[in-house]
Amino acid sequence: MIRLSTDGGGVLLRKRLKFSDDSTRGQSTVSNVRPEYFVVTYVINPWMDPKSWARQHQELASASRQEWSALNHTLLDLGAAIELLPPVHGLPDLVFTANAAIVLDRKVLLAQFRHPERQREEPHFEAAFRSLHARGLVDVVRRLPEGLVLEGTGDCLWDSARNLFWMGYGPRSDHAARYAIEDTFAAEVISLELAESRFYHIDTALCALPGGEVMYFPGALTASARAKIRDRVAPSHRIELTVEDACRLSANAVAIENAVVVSRCSRYLRAKLAERGYRVLENPLPSFRRSGGAAFCLTLRLDGRSAMMSRDVNEAAVA
Ligand code: ARG
172 backbone dihedrals φ, ψ, rounded to 5°: -120, -25
Neighbours of 316 (CB within 10 A): 8
The reported pLDDT for the residue numbered 28 is 82
Look at the domain 2-318 and name its fold: L-arginine/glycine Amidinotransferase; Chain A (3.75.10)
User: If you measure from the C-alpha of residue 197 to the centroid of ligand 1, how many angstroms do you get, rounded to a whole number?
Assistant: 12
Distance, in Å, from the CA atom of 319 to the CA atom of 309, rounded to the nearest integer, reads: 15
Domain residue extents for the chain: 2-318
238-240, strands of its sheet edge to edge = 206-208, 214-216, 238-240
175 is catalytic: no
The atom of ligand 1 lying closest to the CA of 293 is 7
265 is catalytic: no
User: If you measure from the C-alpha of residue 263 to the centroid of ligand 1, how many angstroms do you get, rounded to a whole number?
Assistant: 15
- For residue 281, CA distances in Å to 179, 206, 213, 266 come to 36, 18, 18, 12
> Which amino acid is present at 300?
L
What global pTM score does this model have?
Answer: 0.91
> Which amino acid is present at 242?
T
Q: What pLDDT tens digit does each residue of the chain (319 aa) get?
A: 332 222 222 222 223 335 544 444 457 889 899 999 999 999 999 999 999 999 999 999 999 999 999 999 999 999 999 999 999 999 999 999 999 999 999 999 999 999 999 999 999 999 999 999 999 999 999 999 999 999 999 999 999 999 999 999 999 999 999 999 999 999 999 999 999 999 999 999 999 999 999 999 999 999 999 999 999 999 999 999 999 999 999 999 999 999 999 999 999 999 999 999 999 999 999 999 999 999 999 999 999 999 987 766 556 655 5
User: If you measure from the C-alpha of residue 50 to the centroid of ligand 1, how many angstroms do you get, rounded to a whole number?
Assistant: 15
Torsion angle in degrees (nearest 10) through CA of 213, 227, 174, 244 = -60
- By the 10 Å C-beta count (0-12 exposed, 13-18 middle, 19+ buried), 187 is classed as middle
Q: Nearest Cα to 288, choosing from 76, 18, 97, 83? A: 97
Q: Find out whether the beta carbon of 204 lies less than 6 Å from any atom of ligand 1.
A: yes
The residues, ordered by sequence, that sit 6+ positions from 225 with a Cβ below 8 Å of its Cβ are 192, 193, 194, 195
- Cα distance from N-terminal residue to C-terminal residue, the chain: 24
CA 70 to chain centre: 18
How large is the greatest C-alpha to C-alpha distance in the chain, in angstroms?
Answer: 62
CA 178 to chain centre: 17
State which of 291, 296, 299, 300 you would mutate to test the pocket of ligand 1, scoring each by most atoms of that ligand within 8 A of its C-beta: 291
Contact 107/142 with Cβ under 8 angstroms? yes
The reported pLDDT for the residue numbered 12 is 27
Q: Find out whether the beta carbon of 291 lies less than 6 Å from any atom of ligand 1.
A: yes
Contact 157/166 with Cβ under 8 angstroms? yes
Distance, in Å, from the CA atom of 269 to the CA atom of 185, rounded to the nearest integer, reads: 33
The DSSP secondary structure of the chain, one letter per residue, reads ---------HHHHHHHHHH--GGGSS--EEEEE--TT----S-SSTT--HHHHHHTHHHHHHHHHHHHHHHHHHHHHTT-EEEEEPP-TT-GGGG-GGGTEEEETTEEEE-B-SSHHHHTTHHHHHHHHHHHHHTTS-SEEEPPPTT--B-GGGGEEEETTTTEEEEEESSSS-TTHHHHHHHHH--EEEEEEB--TT--SGGGTEEE-TTS-EEE-GGGB-HHHHHHHHHHS-GGGEEEPPHHHHHTTTTS-EEETTEEEES---HHHHHHHHHTT-EEEE---HHHHTTT--TGGG-EES----HHHHHHHHHHHH-
> Which amino acid is present at 209?
L
The reported pLDDT for the residue numbered 312 is 63
User: If you measure from the C-alpha of residue 115 to the centroid of ligand 1, how many angstroms do you get, rounded to a whole number?
Assistant: 11
